[in-house]
Amino acid sequence: MKGEILEKAKKEIEELVKELNYHCYRYYVLDSPVISDEEYDRLFRRLQELEKKYNYILPDSPTQRVGAPPLDKFEKVRHNEPMLSLDNAFNYEELLEFDKRIKRHLKTNKEIQYTVEPKYDGLAIELTYEKGILVRASTRGDGYIGEDVTNNIKTIKSIPLRIDGTSRVPELIDIRGEVYMNIKDFEALNREREEKGEPLFANPRNAAAGSVRQLDPSITASRKLHLACYGLGAVRGVEFTSQWDFIQWLKEARFPTPYIVKLAINIEEVIEAVKELEERRTELPFEADGAVIKVNDFKLQKALGVKTREPRWAIAYKFAAHQGTTVIKEIIPSVGRTGVITPVAILEPVRIGGVTVSRSTLHNWDEIQRKDIRVGDTVVVERAGDVIPHVIMVIKEKRTGKEKPFPVPQKCPVCGAKVVRPKGEVAVRCVGLNCPAQAVERIRHFVSKGAMDIEGLGEKNVQLLFDSGRIKHFTDLYRLKKEDLLSLPRFADKSAQNLIDAIEKSKKTTLARFLYALGILHVGEYTARLLAKRFKRLEDLYHVKKEQIMEIPQIGEKIAASVAEFFSDEKNIKAIEELKALGLKIENPDYEAEKPARKAPLEGLTFVITGTLPRPRKEVEAQIEALGGHAASSVSRKTDYLVVGESPGSKLQKAKALGVKTITYEELLKMMGGTSK
Ligand code: IVH
């Protein structure tokens, strides 16, 4: 009897593991879940319960992805076969030469087939599966010996813990791929770090590498990492004939594969595919620094072999860098709304990746010292995604001796007040209570896009309104009359009316936006949203205690203290009450009383898509349907929303003519409740 119960429990556990792993694959690899988050959580909890009760834990149980304790150091791992690097090509000429070399080596005139994949700019990883079970994940290291990062890699949910979905399960297989972070997630991570006063990652690659090489796997688990599998190491028990065959197998076996893999019948088609990839580069959600071209046939690969560290059968075509070289004309100390003084480099304008760059942040004064940046220096500037350009390094060989170091300011460049540098902080701060720079910056921040979003109030207009005495504080904005503007040089009847209308419109806002707009020290958009989730009404924050805020798991003492201090100051509460009296209406859609059961969020809505989205249209449409919506192919009066991607087609005009609402892909994701990656 007892044995029978145990058998039954084991069977349920096995089924739950299989089912949960399948849903993980639907969600994280295909991006098209078939069950709700709540249902997933319910099954997961049931599994946890049974595992505990019967002490029966399968090696591929999803409960084993997290919870491994921190390590003291990483163990070394020898790769079954070395992980090679790639030779580079910088133009199409060099690709043609690559093709010639291969034909010469193989003594053939026949066309060679190649695959073309994006070159992910991340961290190379090897996954080792024995009898279908993931037993080890290791970094590339020096190519021969890497580090064991199994517990960290297991937290990446798109990585299968067991090979499933195919009958071809090898005895042993080493699968190579790149761990990477999407540009959006990288930027969000940096914003979060900035709010917490932590050092920023220079680019998505460093963020991905830094997240994997963590002794504490729970830190890795908190980062949004992805994997693209593209390479085969040792294998026993299954044969693959070509790269294409291998990629198809990876897909079948539920591994995440590169965004695009093209099979080209000759080098001309390779060049076409590379061209297309480079043109579409900005639409990729991740940073790709080139394309990787591989001889498709594994027999030919073997015949070509390896020269020292690079295979003869593959090459990386490097895209034009998102970097440029220019000269620093000037360094100016810029005073922010919290009084922090940041150095900004004014550059000789330079085109980088299609954009003219003429200023760049130097982050802080330590950074200037560390990189030894001087006025007049020739420097390398990089733009990664939409990130503010930054100076990577000084080209010291170009120095003439006339370059001047820029000292840390001892006085505020705007109000002349003393500056302080709190212990342990890199920030230099102006303590002038009436510093006009801070006042202007606070107003600029208040009206900015993520805050009250008052259109037509750019930097220049804020400065003008401030200098002319029309506003001293952001509360004054809501007292402005059209006449106040008409007497100013930059305003005519129409522009004045537009601004008054925009100010009026901004009165209706959300608690998250408003909290962010207030410019509380350390409260960025992310923290503001966390606060709005917890506190229903603005008034609930008046005289709030630090401890109450620290109940929010993601908020630490420093931020909590800053929020509590802000709301303990009567001056601030008075300013808020004044805004309310002037007609400000605050709603709080972010508030989570209890986590509400998410029903089909798109129920009853019809969507049409035009232009290119960051993901395949079919997938997006499937997701719309999965969430209760309807995805139609043409615009009509029945269409609720037109989702507009890159280079939209004629559907956009039609939607405008019919008055159909248009939204961006990001807005669609929001409506979906952020179920996407
Ligand atoms: S194939 C011998 N494919 O680029 C083949 N590598 O510069 C070696 N990489 O260490 C790898 N995307 O970390 C390959 N689609 C791709 C890749 C890729 C990124 C990285 C990989 C490798 C480095 C070589």
3-state secondary structure 318-367: ECCCCEEEEEEEEEEEEECCCCEEEEEEEEEEEEECCEEEEEEECCCHHH
More confident position, 5 or 114: 114
Provide the mean pLDDT of the chain. Answer: 90
From 76, 119, 481, 638, the catalytic residue: 119
> Are residues 46 and 105 both part of a single domain?
no
Residue 81 forms part of a structural domain: no
Give the binding-site residues of ligand 1, using a 6 Å CB cut-off.
84-86, 117, 119-120, 124, 140, 178, 230-231, 258, 292, 311, 314, 316
Residue 531 has pLDDT above 70, yes or no: yes
Residue 617: domain span = 606-672
Ligand 1 centre distance from Cα of residue 672 (Å): 34
**Ligand 1 atom with least separation from CA of 140:** 10
- Residue nearest atom 16 of ligand 1, based on CA coordinates: 119
Asked if residue 110 and residue 250 are part of one domain, the reply reads yes
Which tens digits make up the pLDDT trace of 615-673?
Answer: 778 778 877 887 788 999 889 988 999 999 888 888 988 898 898 999 988 888 888 77
Does some domain include residue 180? yes
Beta strands 88-89; 314-318: pairing state: parallel
Ligand 1 midpoint to CA 295 (Å)? 14
Position 77 in a domain? no
Probe residue for ligand 1, chosen from 81, 83, 84, 86 as the CB with the greatest number of ligand atoms within 8 Å: 86
* Helices then strands, each counted (H, E), the chain: 23, 28
User: Can you tell me which atom of ligand 1 is nearest the CA of 258?
Assistant: 15
C-alpha 662: how far from chain center: 24
Rounded to the nearest angstrom, the distance between the alpha carbon of 387 and the centre of ligand 1 is 25
Interval between CA 139 and ligand 1 midpoint (Å)? 13
Burial grade of 182 (CB within 10 A; 0-12, 13-18, 19 or more): buried
Distance CA 41, CA 20 (A): 10
Digit-coded pLDDT (tens) for 242-251: 999 999 999 9
Q: Is the pLDDT of residue 151 over 60?
A: yes
Amino acid 354: pLDDT: 64
Ligand 1 pocket test, candidate residues 84, 87, 119, 309, most atoms within 8 A of CB:
119
Judged by DSSP in three states, 316 sits in: strand
**Ligand 1 centre distance from Cα of residue 315 (Å):** 9
Residue 309 in this model has a pLDDT that exceeds 90: no
Cα 183 to chain centroid distance, Å, stands at: 4
Q: Is the distance from CB of 284 to CB of 122 less than 8 angstroms?
A: no
Statement to judge: residues 286 and 400 lie in one domain: no
Of 83-92, 93-102, 578-587, 598-607, the poorest mean pLDDT is in: 598-607
Residue nearest to atom 17 of ligand 1 (CA): 119
Residue 486 near residue 421 (C-beta atoms within 8 A) = no
Pair (539, 556) in one structural domain = yes
Q: Are residues 223 and 140 in the same domain?
A: yes
Looking from the CA of residue 117, the nearest atom of ligand 1 is 15
Place of tokens 């940073």: 287
What are residue 232's DSSP bridge partners? 175
Tracing tokens 């080139």 back to the chain, one arrives at 290
Asked which of 556, 587, 618 is the last residue of a domain, the reply is 587
| pLDDT band (50, 70, 90) for residue 364 | confident
Q: Express each pLDDT in 559-601 by its tens digit.
A: 899 999 999 989 899 999 999 999 999 999 999 876 544 567 8
Return the ligand 1 atom nearest residue 311 CA: 2
- Taking the centre of ligand 1 as the mean of its atom positions, its distance from the CA of residue 86, in whole angstroms, is 7
Last residue of a domain, one of 262, 294, 318: 318
Look at the chain and report how many structural domains it folds into.
5
Active site (annotated) includes residue 533: no
pLDDT of residue 46: 95
Pair 236, 106 in one domain: yes
For ligand 1, atom 21, which residue shows the shortest CA distance? 124
Pocket test for ligand 1, best of 85, 142, 315 (most atoms within 8 A of CB): 85
Query: Is the pLDDT at 302 greater than 90, yes or no?
Result: yes
In this structure, the answer to whether residues 313 and 282 fall within a common structural domain is yes
Q: Tell whether 571 and 613 lie within a shared domain.
A: no
Q: 228 CA to middle of ligand 1, Å?
A: 10
Cα gap 243→114, rounded to integer Å = 9
Tell me: pLDDT of 200 over 80: no
In a domain, 291, yes or no: yes
pLDDT at 371 exceeding the cut of 50: yes
User: What average pLDDT score do residues 600-607 get?
Assistant: 86
In total, the chain counts a number of residues equal to: 677
Q: Which residue among 29, 47, 63 closes a domain? A: 63
**% of residues, the chain, pLDDT over 70:** 97
Please give the number of the atom of ligand 1 that sits closest to the Cα of 119. Answer: 12
Shortest-distance Cα residue to atom 12 of ligand 1: 119
Q: Provide, rounded to the nearest whole percent, the portion of the chain with pLDDT above 90.
A: 62
* Dist. CA 255–CA 600, nearest whole Å: 28
pTM of the full structure: 0.60
Atom in ligand 1 nearest the alpha carbon of residue 88: 7
Cα 516 to middle of ligand 1, angstroms: 41
In the block, which residue shows the tokens 């330079």?
350
- pLDDT tens across 13-51, in order? 999 999 999 999 999 998 888 898 889 999 999 999 999
Of the ranges 36-45, 60-69, 348-357, 504-513, the best mean pLDDT one: 504-513
Q: Lowest-pLDDT range, 103-112, 330-339, 387-396, 409-418?
A: 387-396
In a domain, 68, yes or no: no
The whole-angstrom separation of Cα 637 and Cα 639 is: 5
Query: Among 83, 139, 174, 178, which is best to mutate for testing ligand 1, by the most ligand atoms less than 8 A from CB?
Result: 178
Bridge partners of 515, per DSSP, are none
Look up the CATH number of the domain holding residue 382: 2.40.50.140
Residue 294 counted as domain residue? yes
Select from 138, 142, 230 the residue to mutate for testing ligand 1; criterion: most ligand atoms less than 8 Å from CB: 230
Residue 119 C-alpha to ligand 1 middle, in angstroms?
A: 6
pLDDT at 677 exceeding the cut of 50: no
Residues 397 and 406 sit within 8 Å (Cβ to Cβ)? no
Using pLDDT thresholds of 50, 70 and 90, give the confidence band for residue 312: very high
Q: What is the CATH number of the domain that holds 625?
A: 3.40.50.10190
* The pLDDT value given to residue 675: 40
Angle, CA 303 vertex, CA 300 and CA 307 arms, to 5°: 115
Q: Are residues 557 and 502 in the same domain?
A: yes
Give residue 351's pLDDT: 82
Query: For position 96, which CATH number holds?
Result: 3.30.470.30
How confident is the model over 403-420, as a mean pLDDT?
Answer: 91
Ligand 1 closest atom vs CA 124: 13
| Measured distance CA(290)–CA(113) in Å, rounded | 19
List the residue whose alpha carbon is closest to atom 10 of ligand 1.
85
Name residue 646's beta-bridge partners: 612
* 348 plus 213 within the same structural domain: no
Instruction: Indicate whether 425 belongs to any domain.
Output: no
Same domain, 95 and 212: yes
Task: Please check whether residues 194 and 294 belong to one and the same domain.
Answer: yes
What average pLDDT does range 64-90 have in this prediction?
90
Interhelix angle 267-279/92-106, nearest 10 degrees: 150
CATH number at residue 17: 1.10.287.610
CATH number of residue 443's parent domain: 1.10.150.20
Q: Is residue 103 part of a domain?
A: yes
Torsion of CA 175, 179, 182, 186, to 10 degrees: 170
Residue owning the nearest CA to atom 23 of ligand 1: 85
Question: How confident is the model over 328-355, as pLDDT tens digits?
Answer: 999 999 998 888 999 999 999 988 866 7
Comparison of pLDDT for 516 and 364, the residue scoring more: 516
pLDDT at 558 over 60: yes
Task: Read off the DSSP letter of residue 384.
Answer: -
Which of 660, 677, 662, 603 minimizes the C-alpha distance to 180? Answer: 677
